[in-house]
Amino acid sequence: MRGTWRCDMQIFLDTADVKEIRELASLGLVDGITTNPSLVAKEGRPFREIVDEIIRIVDGPISLEVVSTDSQAMLAEARDLAKIHANVVVKIPLIAEGLKAVKQLTLEGIKTNVTLCFSPSQALLAAKAGAAYISPFVGRLDDISHVGMDLVRQIVTIYRNYGYPTKVLAASLRNPLHFVEAALAGAHVCTMPPAVLRQLLKHPLTDIGLEKFLEDWKKVPKVS
């Protein structure tokens, strides 16, 4: 066996919104953060300022993405990102130059999250290169009439077959059903927008039941 398969379900937030991260991290349910250039740009703040705040809030893996497309430039960026904090995981796109960079970064002890995975063959190559995480994009496959969760199931099976230690990080999750299906498939991590994590907490019967309990409690005689 090339690694030990662990089934710890971790929840990451897919955002660079520090206010949202701080609020949801206070629940004690956030294990890590994933970001990308689009999420960072949306905040309209300096990149390093955002990252430093996130690191102070969440003590877990923080995925920060390179923006180069050739391996040497990726390596330079990745090394700089890794110096920020021990919890930084470098996101690398799943292209040939990216896997070349992943192989070298693995040798240097720098953890990588290989992103934009849309096929099981891509995932297998990422694992062979030494990726710490693979990020299959479920929602984006659903958008083009594929069943995105099938990809998660395929990757989990392949990695188990060969004992790869690469963790399956189900990404582009759009709703609570995606989360449940990823958990049933055996994904190690689910990353989601803050709104989806809030949806996981909600159920109308919970609200109705709590309201009824509290109303009934008011009827309990008080000791005079």
Looking at the predicted structure, is the pLDDT value of residue 139 above 70?
Answer: yes
Average pLDDT over residues 194-222: 95
Looking at the predicted structure, is the pLDDT value of residue 206 above 80?
Answer: yes
Place of tokens 């520090």: 18
Longest dimension (CA), the chain: 78
Instruction: Quickly count: other Cβ atoms within 10 Å of residue 141's Cβ.
Output: 19
Residue 208 lies in a domain: yes
Residue 1 lies in a domain: no
Residue 2 lies in a domain: no
* CB neighbour burial string for 172-181, b if at least 16 within 10 angstroms, e if fewer: bbbebebbeb
Report the alpha-carbon angle 27-28-31, nearest 5.
125
Residue 223 lies in a domain: no
**Spatial separation of the C-alpha atoms in residues 176 and 192, rounded to whole Å:** 10
Residue 71 lies in a domain: yes
Rg, C-alpha atoms of the chain: 20
pLDDT of 4 reads 46
pLDDT of 224 reads 73
- What percent of the chain stands above pLDDT 70? 96
pTM of this prediction?
0.93
User: Total domain count for the chain?
Assistant: 1
Average pLDDT over residues 69-98: 98
Average pLDDT over residues 77-85: 98
Q: Mean of the per-residue pLDDT values for the chain?
A: 95
Instruction: State pLDDT tens for residues 150-192.
Output: 999 999 999 999 999 999 999 999 999 999 999 999 999 999 9
CATH of the domain at 43: 3.20.20.70
Residue 224 lies in a domain: no
The dihedrals phi and psi of 48, each to the nearest 5 degrees, come to: -65, -35
Six-digit token pair at 194? 């803050």
Query: What is the secondary structure of the chain as a DSSP string?
Result: --S------EEEEE---HHHHHHHHTTT---EEE--HHHHHHHTS-HHHHHHHHHHH--S-EEEE----SHHHHHHHHHHHHHH-TTEEEEEESSHHHHHHHHHHHHTT--EEEEEE-SHHHHHHHHHHT-SEEEEBHHHHHHTTS-HHHHHHHHHHHHHHHT--PEEEEBS--SHHHHHHHHHHT-SEEEE-HHHHHHHH--HHHHHHHHHHHHHHTTSPPP-
Helix axes 194-201, 176-185, angle to 10 degrees: 80
Instruction: State pLDDT tens for residues 101-114.
Output: 999 999 999 999 99
pLDDT of 5 reads 43
Q: How confident is the model at residue 223 (pLDDT cuts 50, 70, 90)?
A: confident
Instruction: State pLDDT tens for residues 6-46.
Output: 447 999 999 999 999 999 999 999 999 999 999 999 999 99
Residue 20 lies in a domain: yes
Six-digit token pair at 50? 């955002």
Residue 92 lies in a domain: yes
**Spatial separation of the C-alpha atoms in residues 71 and 33, rounded to whole Å:** 24
Q: How confident is the model at residue 117 (pLDDT cuts 50, 70, 90)?
A: very high
pLDDT of 135 reads 98
Known catalytic residues are 91
- What percent of the chain stands above pLDDT 90? 95
Containing domain of residue 211, as a range? 10-217
